[in-house]
Amino acid sequence: MSHTTAPIPSHRKPRRSATKLSLRAGVAGGVLSTIAVAGAATPASAESVTEATLEMPTLGALDTDIASAVSASAEANQQEALDQDLAAQEDAALQKAAKDAKKAKAEAERKAQAERAEKARADAEAKARASRDAQRAQLAQTTSYSASGSSSSSSTGASASSSSSSSQAATGTAASIVAFARAQVGDAYVPGGTGPNSWDCSGLVQAAYRQAGIDLPRVSSAQSMKGTAVSLSNLQPGDILYWGGRSSSYHVAIYVGGGKFVGAQNSSTGTVERSLDYDPPSGAVRIL
């Protein structure tokens, strides 16, 4: 029995054929010959190529140039951003300054207008006060008072009866009381006011009698309890008029003759001289 022996593979690299080796050697030799011939024939060209090759920038120089360009571009961009931010800040500052200036101008105009209005009011008040002071000075020198207005026939009531008393002349103390009361016409009404230039009803009556040397209580209910009650048909200048019950009156005024009274009425009208028909009183008392 015969045994077949299997071939064992070899680990050695296969040898290159002689033909291939010869071919490669020939190609290499030809190339070297061509280079040698070219070098011998044109030495100047080789030198030029060598010189040109030496003048080409190296990779390190290119990297430096690129880095410089990138840095310059970044700086330019940063400067442009700073310029834009500065311009925006300047624009915002200008807008704020314009707004503040407009607001300040409006406020200044408002204050100027208020000052003008206050000055006009003060001037008017000063003129009115000067006129009242002059009237008071003139009335203080008067020793007698003639009731104004002419007597006229009218229907029954307080108007007719008071008209009949208008022919009476207030003299002495009554005249000074009436003169003082009339001099306050135009003054303001202020609750609790006792003058000068502002009154409530009982404050005016009390002041008028005080300057004549007569002391009266402060409130209207107490003032109406003083003196002697008189009929509205028999009034005389200087009598105190009251509204409400005599012991519980809520308003008082001074009868000045001619069917009229002077009183500090309210905050809307101030101190006025009005006809008895305007607001007929409840009763009257005579202090003098």
pTM of the model as a whole:
0.47
| Dist. CA 262–CA 167, nearest whole Å | 18
Indicate whether 242 belongs to any domain: yes
Domain count across the chain: 1
CATH number for the domain spanning 245: value is: 3.90.1720.10
Return the DSSP state at 230: E
Indicate whether 268 belongs to any domain: yes
Give the pLDDT of residue 270. 97
> pLDDT band at 154, cuts 50/70/90?
very low
Indicate whether 191 belongs to any domain: yes
> CA 76 from chain center: how many Å?
48
Give the pLDDT of residue 180. 97
| Dist. CA 164–CA 152, nearest whole Å | 8
Indicate whether 273 belongs to any domain: yes
| Dist. CA 199–CA 192, nearest whole Å | 7
Give the pLDDT of residue 187. 97
> How many residues does the structure list for the chain?
288
Q: What pLDDT, in 10s, does the model give residues 202-251? A: 999 999 999 999 999 999 999 999 999 999 999 999 999 999 999 899 99
Question: Are 223 and 202 in contact, with CB atoms under 8 Å apart?
Answer: yes
Q: Which residues, 6 or more positions from 171, have their beta carbon under 8 angstroms from its beta carbon?
A: 143, 144, 145
Give the residue carrying structure tokens 């190296």. Answer: 58
The predicted model gives 89-95 an average pLDDT of 90
> Which pair of tokens denotes residue 89?
């800040």
Indicate whether 59 belongs to any domain: no
Indicate whether 196 belongs to any domain: yes
CA 137 to each of CA 123, 210, 217: distance values in angstroms, whole numbers, following the listed order? 21, 17, 26
Q: What pLDDT, in 10s, does the model give residues 47-86? A: 444 444 455 556 666 777 788 888 888 888 889 888 898 8
What's the domain range around 167? 144-286
- pLDDT mean across residues, the chain: 77
The predicted model gives 96-115 an average pLDDT of 87
Give the pLDDT of residue 231. 96
Indicate whether 200 belongs to any domain: yes
Which residue did the predictor score with more confidence, 104 or 163? 104
| Dist. CA 147–CA 154, nearest whole Å | 18
The dihedral region occupied by 244, where left means phi > 0, alpha psi between -120 and 50, and beta the remainder, is left
Which residue did the predictor score with more confidence, 222 or 2? 222
